[in-house]
């Protein structure tokens, strides 16, 4: 779900209230303008081709019309000031979220994917993943935002408004998910060729389920238990994959691309572009630009047997 009309947190709720107020005021002004136009049309003098042109109204004083214009201008000014005040009050309310015992995440935008580093929490070690976040319901979250290359914008409308991510400048966004669910996020600042395919998700879990998920994410990759998966791991390590990606518990320590330690637990690959299944994963490995044109990930041509072994091993990374 990606909509500001169904808020899942207190801050998104305040933003929706401001939206409803703005919509109501704009609709009222629009209706008033239409009514004025309708009255003008109805009261306009009728004429034919034979009727002489009447220009007397040009120099005729029109105090009533002037009064209406002045009144409309005053009302418009008051409405704009009211919207400005509501905007300021909403902004102040957004900044007052209690953030005690907050979960802290460091999120970095790349062309065109997201890296999320969960910082140490209650003496538990940090871990890193890509594109799919989980947060506990009812607990505030503080996300430090960074951009590695160009300007990106973090936006999860169900939880909060937009926040720019500017290279060289750190920013933070704070929110709290009060309803369990999966909420889609999107880069909201044009950042290049694949801007439209730079999505992520935030799953709000009950606290116990989140704790189990986080404990699993902190674990290294499971060791292969059969010969085919073992061969797949060796293929991964021997190819350029290991130079770009990290899989904790193996010799792969690359930092150019996403951390793949628990790849099989993710619903999508390529930053929300395609479903995470064996067919799509094979296509992504062999020729990623056919699935996401412009991606910086190069294709890897493998013998069919090696590709199948690699896929088997990747599917064990849960």
In tens, the pLDDT along 182-233 reads 999 999 999 998 999 999 999 999 999 999 999 999 999 988 889 999 999 9
The answer to whether residues 167 and 273 belong to one domain is no
| pLDDT recorded at residue 34 | 94
In a domain, 186, yes or no: no
User: In terms of pTM, does the model score above 0.75?
Assistant: yes
CB 246 within 8 A of CB 260: yes
The answer to whether residues 172 and 291 belong to one domain is no
In a domain, 27, yes or no: yes
Beta-strand runs (E) in the chain: 103-110, 113-118, 127-130, 132-136, 140-147, 152-155, 162-165, 171-176, 181-186, 199-205, 268-269, 274-275
The answer to whether residues 171 and 231 belong to one domain is no
In a domain, 250, yes or no: yes
In a domain, 1, yes or no: yes
Give the mean model confidence (pLDDT) for residues 61-66.
Answer: 80
Position of tokens 């969960």?
118
In a domain, 146, yes or no: yes
Q: At 24, which CATH number?
A: 2.60.40
The yes-or-no verdict on residue 276 having pLDDT over 80 is: yes
Beta strand pairing call for 103-110 and 140-147: parallel
Residues above pLDDT 90, as percent of the chain? 72
Final residue belonging to a domain, choices 146, 177, 208: 177
CA 55 to chain CA centroid, Å, is 58
The answer to whether residues 167 and 250 belong to one domain is no
Position of tokens 């950042």?
191
The answer to whether residues 170 and 269 belong to one domain is no
**SS3 at position 12:** helix
CB 112 within 8 A of CB 295: yes
In a domain, 297, yes or no: yes
**Structural domain range at position 280:** 227-314
Q: At 251, which CATH number?
A: 2.60.40.420
Counting the structural domains of the chain, the total is 2
The answer to whether residues 171 and 239 belong to one domain is no
In a domain, 76, yes or no: yes
The yes-or-no verdict on residue 121 having pLDDT over 90 is: no
Helix (H) or strand (E) holding 234: helix 227-238
- 9-60 tens-digit pLDDT: 999 999 999 999 999 999 999 999 999 899 888 887 777 777 777 777 777 7
In a domain, 210, yes or no: no
Report the C-alpha gap between 168 and 19 in whole angstroms.
Answer: 32
CB 197 within 8 A of CB 184: no
Report the C-alpha gap between 266 and 129 in whole angstroms.
Answer: 10
Chain mean pLDDT for the chain:
91
C-alpha closest to that of 139 among 9, 1, 5: 9
CB 247 within 8 A of CB 258: no
Q: Which two tokens stand for residue 318?
A: 């849960």
The answer to whether residues 158 and 268 belong to one domain is no
């Amino acid at each position: 779900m990606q909509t500001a009309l169904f808020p899942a947190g207190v801050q998104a709720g305040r933003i929706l209230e401001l939206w409803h107020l703005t919509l109501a005021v704009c609709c009222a002004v629009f209706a008033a303008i239409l009514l004025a136009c309708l009255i003008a049309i109805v009261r306009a003098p009728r004429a034919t081709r034979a009727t002489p042109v009447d220009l007397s109204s040009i120099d005729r004083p029109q105090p009533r019309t002037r009064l209406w214009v002045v009144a409309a201008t005053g009302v418009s000014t008051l409405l704009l000031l009211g919207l400005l005040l509501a905007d300021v009050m909403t902004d102040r309310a957004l900044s007052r979220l209690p953030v005690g015992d907050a979960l802290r995440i460091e999120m970095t935008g790349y062309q065109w994917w997201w890296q999320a580093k969960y910082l140490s929490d209650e003496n538990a070690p940090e871990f890193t993943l890509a594109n799919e976040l989980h947060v506990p319901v009812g607990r505030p979250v503080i996300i430090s935002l960074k951009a590695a290359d160009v300007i990106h914008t973090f936006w999860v409308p169900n939880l909060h408004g937009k926040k720019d991510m500017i290279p060289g400048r750190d920013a933070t966004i704070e929110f709290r998910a009060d309803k369990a669910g999966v909420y889609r996020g999107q880069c909201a600042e044009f950042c290049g060729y694949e801007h439209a395919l730079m999505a992520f998700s935030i799953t709000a879990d009950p606290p116990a389920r989140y704790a189990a998920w986080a404990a699993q994410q902190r674990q290294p990759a499971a060791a292969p238990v059969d010969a085919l998966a073992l061969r797949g791991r060796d293929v991964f390590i021997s190819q350029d994959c290991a130079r770009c990606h990290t899989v904790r518990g193996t010799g792969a320590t690359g930092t150019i691309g996403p951390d793949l330690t628990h790849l099989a637990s993710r619903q999508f690959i390529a930053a929300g572009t395609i479903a995470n299944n064996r067919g799509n994963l094979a296509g992504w490995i062999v020729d990623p630009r056919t699935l996401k044109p412009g991606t910086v990930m190069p294709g890897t041509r493998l013998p069919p047997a090696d590709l199948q072994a690699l896929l088997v091993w990747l599917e064990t990374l849960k």
